[in-house]
Amino acid sequence: MNNVTNEIVRSQLGGALLTGYSATPEYLTKLKKNISLVREIARQYCDLTITDVDSRIYFVRYFVMIIKDVIKFLPTYIDELRPGRRLEAFCISSGVHRDDVFWKWCDTVCCDMEGQVVYHHLKESLDELRELLAEVENAMMHCDPAIFERFFYIEEQHYSSSGVARRFETWLYDNGYPDIDKLRELQAQVVAETLKMGVLDFAKTPSQKEIDEVNRDTLKGLLPYDFEMTADFIVACAKWRRFMHWDGYTLIVNYKKYGKYIQAHFYDFSDKQLQAIFELDMMVHLINEELARLNQVTTITITNHVPEEELFKFIHPSISGEEEWQIHEEVKRLVTHHGIQEICQYLYQMAKDKRILLPQMPSAAYAELVRMGMPTTAGFSEKYFKNHYRII
């Protein structure tokens, strides 16, 4: 577990920032601003209701001036990008060169200016811009993937973590000594809420195989009962799986892939989406830290379990060794921290995951859970248990 924790600390605390990073030069700040302005001017021109030709020509002259400013800085940026510098400071989308909408806006401007003196300056500037943007994209394609990881964390530094930390501390207080299961629920919920904001709308459409690999039953068990599992949400989950993997219950994000996606569509995100993207990363880091702490406590408990303690009777026959005692401890925490409905729902999921094999008779299961520590007070009667008991 220490190796996993070290990986999280290295990545999520920005250890990757230390290699090849220097202060952002002034020209790059101007370039970032002007490339955004070029897109915005092209869009606004196509929305203009002004029919006066002289007014439109004045607008286009300003457009050409901004394009020339971009063209002036791009060669320097490309030269610095090739050896692996500057990507962290410049959020130009690698998709700008292939942004059909943007170039349609430019085509509209050119068509309107045909026959005008400014037309040739406009056409030459746009052709040069297209060529330079293609070079930028080509340079990015040959960058070390680690640079996209570095980009992600440098952008994340623009957002404060104090609000996220307060929310997590409040959640810990409200849930009073949460166990691993509750942390997994929080983990699923914060990811789901961010995905529903459309932060992966620009990722490639997943295959049917990727969609089928989304474990809907597990998600239903972790998310609030009234969470709407729409088709779009399942598609977003399939996309999210491309950027992460699990180490036990710990969520590990591949920042080389994820950072490249964020960088490629930086201009496409709204301010709220960008904030959600980086705040999710901060929250996942806090949850992972708490999971690591609890897992360490659980490991000590399992290692020091009393040999005379009788193992939970309904562990699946395919499971053996230390994993048996892990499931044993998991069931003990389950029955001592949750109500009947949650207990039955979680047992059903464990059975579906082939971790336990529940008996046909509810009374046998009830007796074993009582032995494991489940109370028999009001709300925990055998009759109430039978109403919620399910087997595969």
Beta bridge partners of 246: 251
- What phi and psi values does residue 310 have, to the nearest 5 degrees? -80, 130
pLDDT tens by residue, 45-56: 999 888 899 999
Q: How far is it, in rounded angstroms, from Cα 195 to Cα 293?
A: 27
Predicted pLDDT of residue 18: 37
Q: Give which of 192, 202, 205 is closest to 276, Cα–Cα.
A: 192
Asked if 94 contacts 136 with a C-beta cutoff of 8 angstroms, the reply is yes
pLDDT at 4 over 50: no
pTM: 0.57
pLDDT at 133 over 80: yes
pLDDT top residue among 14 and 81: 81
1 falls in which pLDDT band (50, 70, 90)? very low
Q: What's the mean per-residue pLDDT of the chain?
A: 84
Instruction: Tell me the two tokens of residue 6.
Output: 């070290």
Q: What is the DSSP string of 173-220?
A: HHHSS--HHHHHHHHHHHHHHHHTTTTTTTSPPPPHHHHHTS-HHHHH
Average pLDDT over residues 10-20: 38
pLDDT top residue among 36 and 210: 210
pLDDT tens by residue, 213-267: 999 999 999 999 999 999 999 999 999 999 998 888 888 999 989 998 988 788 7
């998600």: which residue's tokens? 219
Average pLDDT over residues 14-24: 43
Average pLDDT over residues 195-201: 96
Amino acid, single-letter form, for residue 141:
M
